Structure 1
Amino acid sequence: MTASEAPLAPGQRLGDDVVDWLTSGTSDERFIDNIFAQMCIRLQRAGIPVKRASLHVQINHPQWLGARMLWSDGMQGADIARVDYDVRERSEYIGSPASEIHDGVEEIRENLARDPELGRQHAVYDDMRAQGLTDYVAWPIYHTLGKRHIVTFATDRRGGFEQAHIDALRRLMPILALVSEIRIKNRLARTLLETYVGPHAAEMVLAGATRRGSGTTVRAAIMICDLRDFTRISDNWPRDDVIDLLNGYFDAMVEPITQHGGEILKFIGDGLLAIFPLSQPQACANLLHAVTDARKAMAALNARNAETGRAPLNYGIGVHLGDVMYGNIGSVSRLDFTVIGPAVNMASRMEALTKQVGRNVLLSRAFAEHLEGEFALERVGEYPVRGFSDPIELFSYEG
């Protein structure tokens, strides 16, 4: 006897065991894609002939609007595809079930076995017909304040879903909404923290490091970068051009830093603060590799800007090494997770000195002594530094 032929207990409705599992059996699973895939497998075991299902959620990540989780018969998990912000301008979205649901439709039911000319016209229906699917249903699932996401189910059963199948799937919607909202908001919280404070600081905050004044002492290479002539640019350029310029500049600088193991702690107008903790192998070498790649990225950016008549951008970088306090600083109601200490101040003063000595990148002796022989440094000399009693020996790096 198959699952679909198994008799139900008195008073039990088709799919009630899946509702029970979704309600009380998913508390140990963090990820909604795993829960969604297991739900579909359990629906099949309960006799509901789901062959394909998808869950579409809006995340509002800085780089993408949301995600689509797609499950098909035989899969133990769900495939996840990111959805770009411009998706609603594309042909695959316009007129699709997703666009109809977002426009307010409460249910879409499509008989895929009938003549395509008699049904809805969209490539997604043609794709499902090509897969041998016979019936399709889509519903919105509602999160707090009416925010809509989408779930869809399709079958290849001859004759499509029965009404009992549809009723069972519909009963899942409120529970799936609750379960998915918890997981999506957990992921969103992590994403927002990683976006605004960096991945390492995000982990510390999520682990409970939220008390003002809490922190640790970290020995790190410190990098401070600043854009030259930004005041003149911001005073004379249109606002949108200034924002576009800054974003291009930060892309050129930040991507190499993160790719080589650095952590961006703060954007300060047109400047940034990053650290490479010495707990990481080859931290100082990684910092200079990042500088090398950033220099190439800036050259490419300037070449693109020249094509539109924009003047080239210049920058200064100060690099020092020392102990910093890494933790929560601020008021009782507004905290910043950052680093402070004399070593940070020194890196800032060194960045300012790049204008005086005419070099893009200045390194302190404390930093240079941690490097091995692969980097060609040039000694610039000793310079007094505001706020420090002794002059500092500086090196430049043009690699």
Structure 2
Amino acid sequence: MQLSSTLAWLVDTAAETAGADRLLAELGAHLVADGLPLVAGALTLDVPHPLIARRTWLWRAETGAVIEAVDFAPGATALVPEAPNHAGRRWLSEIAEGRAYEDVIGPGPDGPSLGWIGPRPFTPKETNELRQAARFAASPLAVLAVRATLTATLEAYLGRRSAARVLAAPLRRDRGETIQAALLYADLRNFTALSESNPPATVIAALDAWFDRIAGAVHAFGGEVLKFIGDGVLAIFPVVNEAPRRASEAALRAASAAQAGMAHLDDERRRQGLPPLSFGAALHLGEMLWGNIGAANRLDFTAIGPAVNLVSRLEGLCRPLGKTVLVSGALAAETDIPLMPLGTHSLRGIASPCAVFTLPEG
């Protein structure tokens, strides 16, 4: 039996497609080339993610364009706008206007869902061809789902840039690179007293609220949380195209946004009769080794080096100086954002004194 061009592509090449969006677009184009009358299609995959329950890609035959919609996970809707439900099916129904809708794969409990609409009801022959294509699509879709699950899992635990670096490099501890970045290190105050005087659920809720504000601010300005260290956070804003000013100012804006976010959180906590959560944050610009370290068979992907040491030590000055955010002279030199000088200070374990600045009050 000679396979159609669609089925041959699904067998030979589809599993190598870069992502679900391209697979949907190319599958739709192959079906149209084989004579199937299609107006639009939708592909849904369940992908483990802290906020997203499933991802849906929507394809228009007329333009070949693909857009993405998401269904949010239970409990995530407090952080996001009103969540769509079964986005692919709803979208196809909205544009169908009486045309045929054919659900040709699933959806199963964990499987993909693939649907098409045409300019008229599909004939039995066309329906059979769509179903046959769906059966051949099951294998490349499974490959895509596994790849997407791995990527989403690594991104949730490592961050997007670090996850991409891990996926692209061999799993060996001698793999890393020196990069320049603006670093942000932040630490929650009085965490030991909080954890000793409250039940674990209360402590975890406070930590999650704190991490939401600091990580949300970092991500909003293009940074990436590299580590959660107890109640602390290490984030990086990598320098791209030799533009340290952009990374430095992004880190400063993230610190300001974190302050604003924590102020709102403290207002909420006071209304609930809870104490405020104070924190300290330090910013620095420098080079670090970004890559794998660890034992021979147990690796960690992290950043080490003098810049990391300095930013953590600088954060330790927040309490004695009575400031929430401190900025090193190296980072201050790369921005026009107004900063207040606080003099030069010695940092524990750092050979040279550090010029220290802070954000203006108010």
Question: TM-score by structure 2 length?
Answer: 0.82
Contact 1:378 1:397 in 2 (8 A): no
Q: 1:36 to 1:374 in 2, by over 3 A?
A: closer
Deviations 1:293-323 (A, max 9, x none): 2211211222222232222110012334443
Q: How far apart are the structure 2 equivalents of 1:183 and 1:381?
A: 54
Deviations 1:121-141 (A, max 9, x none): xx889757x702246444317
Among residues 214, 231, 240, which one is paired with 1:253 in the alignment?
214
Deviations 1:77-108 (A, max 9, x none): 33321111149x999859x998xxxxxxxxxx
Contact 1:134 1:155 in 2 (8 A): yes
- How many equivalent pairs are there? 353
Q: How far apart are the structure 1 equivalents of 2:15 and 2:272?
A: 54
SS in 1 for 2:70: strand
Contact 2:291 2:303 in 1 (8 A): yes
- Name the residue aligned to 2:45: 57
Does 2:359 match 1:397? yes
Contact 2:237 2:248 in 1 (8 A): yes
Q: How far apart are the structure 1 equivalents of 2:58 and 2:140?
A: 17
- Name the residue aligned to 1:29: 17
Contact 2:177 2:291 in 1 (8 A): yes
Deviations 1:15-47 (A, max 9, x none): 833212222243663122232233234334434
Matches within 5 A, 1:1-399: 16-26=4-14, 29-86=17-74, 127=94, 131-134=97-100, 136-140=102-106, 147-157=110-120, 160-208=121-169, 210-278=171-239, 279-282=242-245, 283-368=247-332, 370-380=333-343, 382-383=345-346, 385-388=347-350, 392-399=354-361
Contact 2:47 2:152 in 1 (8 A): no
Of 146-155 and 29-38, more deviation after overlay is shown by 146-155
Q: 1:232 to 1:331 in 2, by over 3 A?
A: same
Contact 2:46 2:55 in 1 (8 A): yes
Q: How far apart are the structure 2 equivalents of 1:201 and 1:382?
A: 33
Of all paired residues, the percent bearing the same amino acid is 30
Of 259-268 and 373-382, more deviation after overlay is shown by 373-382
Of 387-396 and 17-26, more deviation after overlay is shown by 387-396
Q: How far apart are the structure 1 equivalents of 2:33 and 2:248?
A: 56
Contact 2:222 2:250 in 1 (8 A): yes
Where structure 1 has 5 or more consecutive residues not aligned to the other structure, the ranges are 1-10, 99-122
Question: Which has the larger Rg?
Answer: 1
Q: 1:206 to 1:280 in 2, by over 3 A?
A: farther
Where structure 2 has 5 or more consecutive residues not aligned to the other structure, the ranges are none
Q: How far apart are the structure 2 equivalents of 1:125 and 1:347?
A: 51
Deviations 1:214-272 (A, max 9, x none): 22233443321100112222333343443332222222212332333433211101101
Q: How far apart are the structure 2 equivalents of 1:255 and 1:135?
A: 39
Contact 1:317 1:361 in 2 (8 A): yes
Q: How far apart are the structure 2 equivalents of 1:237 and 1:181?
A: 45
Contact 1:256 1:291 in 2 (8 A): yes
Q: How far apart are the structure 2 equivalents of 1:351 and 1:392?
A: 12
SS in 2 for 1:56: strand
Q: How far apart are the structure 2 equivalents of 1:125 and 1:201?
A: 36
The amino acid that maps onto 1:32 is A
Q: How far apart are the structure 2 equivalents of 1:227 and 1:340?
A: 21
